Structure 1
């Protein structure tokens, strides 16, 4: 079912936990605070928690969040970290109360989501895998899209808070399908960035003005949200991460492993993974994923950038 958030927002009384205050997590948590959520936050980097405290949040720890919050959001770098935060010695489950709902918005492998769901349900708790699309800009302005996996009752309990952080959500199916949808999204986004990079290195090397090429083609079939978001950054040589390569590299690795597990050939995505491996060797993993252009620039010995008038 597709949910468009046009309904009136109601005051929610749940205590909300939010763990993981990185590039995406901080603006998402701030949007919860803007809607007067009773928010309890944790990040291993205390300075990030302190910023949220200055905006009205309560600084906490995973175990206390587990024992006091009825809805808990996770926005963490990997499935391994998600499992450690939930099930580690001083993790969320150390004090978890039956009936609590955990919503993992991290980008993880479907098997990670299934594992977390099984252990949490054994404790009488709900679980939703609900990764996001939109990157940092949409996290900031509260227009993220959520792709969720789980049962409808759990989705409905979390929905009012998703409404505070995003503009739409879709319950894709059972547990793990949100993570599958996110991996499919990552194939398309990162493959499109690679295609845009290759195309504009080609155009630049051939002598065309890349900015004029962009303006000429963006209104046609080659136009896309990815092209409009990332090509201007490339032209400005702005590689400050909204979506860092290392996160996308992890996601594409999960795609490759999942595809091998289910027996699905992915020749193009496999090549994309190797391109990202080359970026890792060259030390570019902390840059925005539009930095993939540097792989193609290195091959062609040219640079895609604005020209002086």
Structure 2
């Protein structure tokens, strides 16, 4: 592995991922607008740096940022990474963006002699913390092989899906499945609650059957506990579903269920739930039914 590694974006996902890289022996230069998050990393031995300094000093650079526009600004804006980056470096963008945005980054960096991987992740904050994320990667095999040791530190699996943009396409598919699953769990538990059943016992009864899933196990207990502290914010997932619909429309793929999900998230935004965990999707169905999903008092 290269000695100096840049890491840009210390949010809910990025901060624990960066911490794992430090624990894994990487010398990290970090950058984020949140000074407290930067301090947490520097207290562990990382160094704070400007974007241009990261480009100058780090042959390996990771970004995980809220959207594609911010990725473009960080990489190619004034005093951005590209102003200092060296030929032969690798940039790995782990943000959830559109395939078009990933390809645009790859083309600009290629003109500078820099490889690019789009490598979004799945697993949420818990798996970011314990280093068991799943990476879906698009780009060149050689660059993927070079980054494999870093993926091993931050995740439990990493798969090169195809060329540039393939990782972002895979993440869009992932977000369709995850968020529609959350909506289905929400609808089912609201039905059970309104019918008089204890949603906690309903969850326990069905989790071992065909309805059981990672999403069910991750989100049903949080819904029942009324715990909507964000591990994956509705705001981020709303952005992802917007990207899903935009990409689908560009290639003439009708997505009727995802379009409904988009409107559900828009309604939650209007009701002030944008910063809740996406398990908070249940609140949309609760409002429709006039009921709250929670365990029955014994």
The corresponding residue for 1:146 is: 135
**Structure 1 residue corresponding to 2:68, chosen from 61, 64, 79:** 79
What secondary structure, in the 3-state scheme, does the structure 2 residue paired with 1:242 have? coil
Q: How far did residue 245 of structure 1 move? A: 0.3
Task: Number of aligned residue pairs: give it.
Answer: 298
8 Å contact kept, 2:2–2:59: no
Is residue 226 of structure 1 aligned with residue 215 of structure 2? yes
Alignment partners' CA distance in 1, 2:53 and 2:225: 45
How big is each residue's C-alpha offset from its partner over 1:147-204, in whole Å with a ceiling of 9 and x where there is no partner? Answer: 0000100101111111110111000000000000000000000000000000110111
**Structure 2 residue corresponding to 1:117, chosen from 99, 106, 116:** 106
What secondary structure, in the 3-state scheme, does the structure 1 residue paired with 2:6 have? strand
Unmatched segments (≥5 aa) in structure 2: none
How big is each residue's C-alpha offset from its partner over 1:113-148, in whole Å with a ceiling of 9 and x where there is no partner? Answer: 000000000000000000000000000000001000
What secondary structure, in the 3-state scheme, does the structure 2 residue paired with 1:56 have? coil
Is residue 14 of structure 1 aligned with residue 3 of structure 2? yes
The corresponding residue for 2:288 is: 299
The corresponding residue for 2:21 is: 32
How big is each residue's C-alpha offset from its partner over 1:59-84, in whole Å with a ceiling of 9 and x where there is no partner? Answer: 10110000110000001000000000
Structure 1 runs (4+) greater than 3 angstroms displaced: none
The corresponding residue for 1:105 is: 94
**Structure 2 residue corresponding to 1:251, chosen from 237, 240, 244:** 240
Q: How far did residue 90 of structure 1 move? A: 1.1
Q: How far did residue 13 of structure 1 move? A: 3.8
Is residue 273 of structure 1 aligned with residue 246 of structure 2? no
Is residue 90 of structure 1 aligned with residue 79 of structure 2? yes
Q: Normalising to structure 1: TM-score of the pair? A: 0.96
**Structure 2 residue corresponding to 1:204, chosen from 193, 216, 219:** 193
Q: How far did residue 14 of structure 1 move? A: 2.6
Alignment root-mean-square deviation, CA: 0.6
The corresponding residue for 1:191 is: 180
The corresponding residue for 1:237 is: 226
The corresponding residue for 2:297 is: 308
Alignment partners' CA distance in 2, 1:29 and 1:131: 15
Alignment partners' CA distance in 2, 1:45 and 1:13: 26
Q: How far did residue 294 of structure 1 move? A: 0.3
The corresponding residue for 1:41 is: 30
Is residue 165 of structure 1 aligned with residue 163 of structure 2? no
Q: How far did residue 306 of structure 1 move? A: 1.2
Unmatched segments (≥5 aa) in structure 1: 1-11
**Structure 2 residue corresponding to 1:263, chosen from 236, 243, 252:** 252
What secondary structure, in the 3-state scheme, does the structure 2 residue paired with 1:137 have? helix
Q: How far did residue 58 of structure 1 move? A: 0.7
Residues 245 and 92 of structure 1, relative CA distance in 2, 3 Å threshold: same
Is residue 56 of structure 1 aligned with residue 45 of structure 2? yes
How big is each residue's C-alpha offset from its partner over 1:83-128, in whole Å with a ceiling of 9 and x where there is no partner? Answer: 0000001110011111110000000000010000000000000000
Q: How far did residue 44 of structure 1 move? A: 1.1
What secondary structure, in the 3-state scheme, does the structure 2 residue paired with 1:286 have? coil
Q: Normalising to structure 2: TM-score of the pair? A: 0.99
8 Å contact kept, 2:2–2:60: no
